Structure 1
């Protein structure tokens, strides 16, 4: 099985588990990852993001294989008030 076949065989559920492991250093059941598992999990997450998700979200790996970084202007545009779903204040409770 080559890398592309491996990445295409990863389901969204498995990707979420891999992402959790890469970000926390342990599997969802609490089992810690070895150093080798951490490295391999991070590589799989990055490959999946670039080849399957093709995300343009900040700090993910884009389709070009590069880290997606947005300027302050781009982020402000993305998070404009008219793009909000809801806004609450602490007094609304």
Structure 2
């Protein structure tokens, strides 16, 4: 089985385990990962991101197999959009019933 077939048949749970091992040097249950295992886990995680995840997040692997890089202006624009969307959703959920009230101590 080659790497492409392996990644195509990999479950999301396995991807998350491999990603955790590559990031921390330990398996999720706490067993240490050898350097060769960590290198393989990193390669498989990157291949999974490229093949299955459609992410445009900074420093992830894009569908073209390249690391996603963004300029400072692009990141500012992205964060501005997400903060505006978050602000709109919190404004909509605020009503007079949701105000915290404190008594004098």
Question: C-alpha root-mean-square deviation of aligned residues, in Å?
Answer: 1.5
**1:56-71 equivalences in 2 (<5 Å):** 56-71=56-71
Equivalent residue for 1:45? 45
Shift of 1:54: 3.0
Dislocated runs of 4+, deviation >4 Å: none
Equivalent residue for 1:19? 19
Equivalent residue for 2:72? 72
Q: TM-score, normalised by structure 2?
A: 0.76
Alignment coverage as a number of residue pairs: 87
Q: TM-score, normalised by structure 1?
A: 0.85
Deviations 1:5-32 (A, max 9, x none): 1001111111111111110000000001
Give SS of 1:13's match.
helix
Shift of 1:71: 0.8
Equivalent residue for 1:89? none
